[in-house]
Structure formats: C-alpha cells, structure tokens
C-alpha cells in the first residue's frame, strides 16, 4: 500500500507536461527510448497463459479512451466488465482520459480509476471520439502495467491501446484487445483516409501485441482479419436486466408526468450520442405529427430543434435513462455503423419493440419481431406506422425483446471471455 501511494506521488510530481519522465531510472528510461523500435519488430515474446477462476485471482488493468462521466457504450462495457471482475475477487484498475475537472484518482464501486489529462478537440469539432493524451500517459501505464497480470484494451487505434500494448509486451504481460465498432464510414474522405492509416500503423502494432482480439460482429472481424493474424473471437455486450425492465401502464404514465412527456402520445425513443454515425439526422427527418420523438444522449444538435414534439434529455445518469426507456413505446436506432450498441440491449431489456438498421450482430434474432431497415427516412416512417398502429404486434415485439435480453445478455456471460 505504501509503495503504491509512493508511485502515485511520483507521477503527480512529474506533471502532465513531462516528456522524458524517467531520466534517472535505468530500466524505465530504456523502455521509453526503445518503445517504438520494439513495437516495429516482429519479435515473439513468450507470455504466461492466465486463466481466471475463483482460486486464481488477478490484477487486471483496463485501458479505455473514455470513461464515466463521458457518455457512450464503451464506457458502460468497461464499467460492467470491471464490476463483474471485482465480484470474482479480482483487483481492477481503469486507466482513462481526464477531460474536465475529474479527480486524477478516484473509486467507483471500489473500482480504482486513474485518469490522465487529455484534450478532446476531434469529438467536439468532428464528432470523432479520439482524445489526445498528455505524455504522462506513458508514465502512468508503465507504473500500472508493471504490477498487473492482465491488460484489457478497448479499441484498436487509440493512443491508450497503442502505448498499453507496447509496454505490456515489454513486461511480458497478457494483452486482450476488444474492438467494438471497426471502421467507421464518415462523410469526409480525409477522416476515412486518416482512419485507414491508423489501422495500418497503430492498429497493426496493437493487434500484433495482443494474445487475442474480441469483436462484436462478423463485419468487424472481416475488416481486421485482413490486417492481422492474431486470433479473433466474438463476444457479446451485456445489459443490467434489473435496472432496465418493462413497467405497466400506470407506472408508464407516472414516469411521463415525472419527465414532462405527453401522456397520450406515442413516444419514439432514440438513445445515443448526437452524431451522424448514430443516424440522428434520419430520426429527426422521420418525425411525423402522429408521434413525438424522445432523444437521450450527449452532444450538440445543430441546428437547434424548435419542434414541441421533440423532447431532449442530456447527461442523464443510468437509472434515469432506464426510466425514460420505460416511459416510451418504441425504440429507433438507424445507425450507419455499429459494433453492438448497448442502447439496443437496454431497449430490449425494457420491453420495447426495436427498429434499427442492424448489422451482423443481429443475425440471430427473429426478423419478424425485430424490425431491420435500411437507413432511409421512408423506411423509418413506414415501419413506425406499421408497429404503433398494431397493438398486438407492439406487444409481441416488446415481449420478444425482453425475452432475448434476459436469456442471452447477462454481463457475467460477457465477461467469461477473459477465461483464456
């Protein structure tokens, strides 16, 4: 305990602008100098195989570019995986970005969170989630990885994953890589080019340094298998079915009054970041006078919405988001690119009918009871009319959603992939 505190004290003394943080330490200095050279070599290092079970507890380091209070699916996955690992008696630390005034070190449900100062210009200007970390990230990762057994990386092309993979390889630690979305098609050809170059450079190094890569669907697997020979397997996201669950009509009415939503209107719900990738523009263009839209997420909507039939909620805690699901009638997510969105699972667990553009991650569902559409306004409108006008279909789709969520998507099933 004393040693851990001293390490944290040393890091704070260095400051976020330290570019050569280990000038007086031999081994660490050498690591810093050879980092890129080591990564570029196809040098095979024998890594001890670790299997997680009740008698072999581990120290696990999760590295993710964003975490709470930032809103997004990866943040929820990282949190719930950490929570499940803690339940099994493992010690978990999360290293992530510090974007605002969050504490550098804090605990959430006994999970230790270590934050590193970062700038976030690309998300604000281009809706691209790519924080730029302070050089102190290298110092933090060296200190954390040295004392951990398993490193879990979220996202192939992020800076945290890049430096985490290199440092973990140097210290001969097992690395698991989780890729959620894969290549995202942007309107900008420049953004697409930069993304491609990142996959072929940073991404290739990260994948080569990993023992195994887990992806959410076959589309992601198909894309990255052309870049790496590292074994690729599937994993499923999870959902807290005790937090997200359907309610009766009386409770639904109470919740609508609580959140100042119309009691006697059909409410179509969108949950996600307010960005083009999620298809928010299609949701807004699909608005008709026969229903209201409820938008839950984060970001700025331009131009501002003046329609009184559009209700916007931002920066809500998960329990309140769960209540918004319960207050609505149908869930709509016309994404242009997805891994396996948690909002789909939350809506299913809440007993809502689903309309989505889908993807290979929904290959297993009954297409009669989960509406898969093209990302087109005309299809969205037609599907909404078809479902909300048929009370039997609305009920049948909602019951199917809940059944699938409960039977297939518990978080403890999702975390079982770490038994490698």
- Distance CA(154)–CA(180), nearest Å, equals 8
Name the more confident of 12 and 319. 319
HSE of 327, CA atoms in CB hemisphere, 13 A: 27
Find the helix or strand (DSSP H, E) in which 104 lies: none
Distance CA 274, CA 138 (A): 32
Q: Give strand pairing partners of 212.
A: 176
pLDDT reported for residue 201 = 96
Higher pLDDT pick, 193 / 338? 193
Cα separation, 112 vs 33, in Å, equals 29
The pLDDT assigned to 12 comes to 39
Q: What pLDDT score was predicted for residue 149?
A: 96
Query: Who contacts 43 (Cβ-Cβ below 8 Å, separation ≥6)?
Result: none
Collapsed DSSP state (helix, strand, coil) of residue 209: coil
**Residue-wise pLDDT tens digits, 138-194:** 999 999 999 999 999 999 999 999 999 999 999 999 999 999 988 988 889 999 999
| Cis peptide, bond prior to residue 303, ω within 30 of zero | yes
What are the structure tokens assigned to 31, written together?
Answer: 């690591």
pLDDT at 45 over 90: no
- Of 413, 414, 412, 419, nearest to 87 (Cα)? 412
The answer, yes or no, to whether residue 54 has pLDDT greater than 90, is no
- Local confidence band at 9 (pLDDT 50, 70, 90 cut-offs): very low
Pairwise CA distance, residues 419 & 158, whole Å: 25
Token digits of residue 257: 């009054």
Q: Which domains does the chain have, with CATH numbers?
A: 7-235 (3.40.50.2000), 249-410 (3.40.50.2000)
- Compute the average pLDDT of residues 389-395: 96
What's the token pair of residue 191?
Answer: 């953004």
Instruction: For residue 160, give Cα distances in angstroms to 71, 295, 378.
Output: 18, 31, 41
Residues whose CB falls within 8 Å of the CB of residue 178, separated by 6 or more in sequence, listed in order:
77, 152, 153, 154, 155, 213, 214, 215, 235
pLDDT of residue 26: 52
d(CA 63, CA 54): 23
| DSSP assignment of 237-290 | ----TTTS----HHHHHHHHHHTT--TTS-EEEEES-SSGGGTHHHHHHT--TT
Q: Kindly state the average pLDDT of the residues 294-303.
A: 81
Q: How far apart are CA 82 and CA 413, in angstroms?
A: 13
Tokens of 249: 């009509």
420, pLDDT greater than 60: no
Helices 73-87 and 342-349: angle between axes, nearest 10 degrees: 70
CA nearest 335: which of 300, 304, 375, 303?
Answer: 375
Per-residue model confidence (pLDDT) at position 4:
43
pLDDT band at 51 (very low <50, low <70, confident <90, very high): low
Cβ-count burial 227-256 (b if 16+ within 10 Å, e if not): ebebebeebbbbbbbeebbbbeeeebeebb
């Amino acid at each position: 305990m004393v040693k851990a505190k001293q390490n944290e004290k040393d890091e704070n003394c260095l400051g976020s602008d330290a570019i050569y943080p280990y000038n007086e330490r031999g081994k660490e200095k050498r690591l810093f100098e050879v980092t890129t050279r080591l990564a570029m070599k196809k040098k095979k290092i024998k890594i001890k195989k670790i299997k997680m079970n009740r008698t072999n507890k581990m120290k696990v380091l999760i590295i993710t570019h964003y975490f709470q209070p930032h809103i997004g699916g990866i943040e929820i996955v990282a949190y719930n995986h950490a929570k499940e690992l803690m339940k099994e008696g493992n010690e978990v630390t999360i290293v992530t970005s510090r974007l605002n005034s969050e504490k550098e070190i804090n605990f959430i449900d006994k999970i230790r969170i270590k934050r590193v100062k970062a700038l976030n210009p690309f998300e604000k200007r281009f809706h691209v989630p790519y924080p730029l970390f302070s050089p102190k990230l290298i110092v933090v990762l060296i200190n954390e990885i040295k004392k951990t057994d398993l490193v879990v990386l979220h996202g192939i092309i992020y800076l945290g994953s890049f430096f985490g993979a290199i440092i973990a390889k140097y210290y001969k630690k097992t690395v698991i890589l989780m890729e959620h979305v894969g290549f995202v098609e942007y309107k900008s050809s420049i953004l697409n080019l930069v993304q491609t170059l990142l996959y072929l450079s940073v991404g290739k190094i990260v994948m080569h340094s990993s023992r195994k890569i887990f992806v959410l669907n076959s589309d992601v697997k198909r894309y990255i298998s052309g870049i790496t020979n590292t074994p690729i397997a599937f994993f499923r996201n999870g959902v807290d079915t005790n937090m997200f669950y359907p309610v009766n009509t009386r409770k639904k009415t109470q919740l609508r009054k609580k959140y100042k939503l119309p009691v006697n209107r059909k409410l179509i719900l969108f949950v996600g970041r307010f960005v083009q990738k999620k298809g928010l523009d299609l949701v807004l263009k699909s608005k008709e006078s026969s229903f209201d839209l409820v938008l839950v997420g984060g970001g700025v909507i331009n131009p501002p919405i003046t329609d009184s039939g559009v209700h916007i909620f931002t920066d809500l805690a998960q329990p309140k988001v769960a209540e918004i699901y319960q207050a609505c009638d149908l869930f709509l997510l016309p994404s242009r690119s997805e891994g396996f969105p948690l909002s789909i699972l939350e809506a299913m667990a809440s007993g809502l009918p689903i309309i989505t553009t889908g993807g290979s991650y929904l290959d297993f569902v009954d297409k009669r009871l989960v509406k898969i559409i093209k990302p087109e306004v005309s299809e969205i409108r037609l599907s909404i009319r078809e479902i909300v006008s048929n009370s039997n279909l609305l009920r049948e789709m909602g019951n199917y959603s809940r059944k699938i969520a409960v039977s297939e998507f518990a978080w403890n099933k999702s975390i079982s992939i770490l038994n490698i």
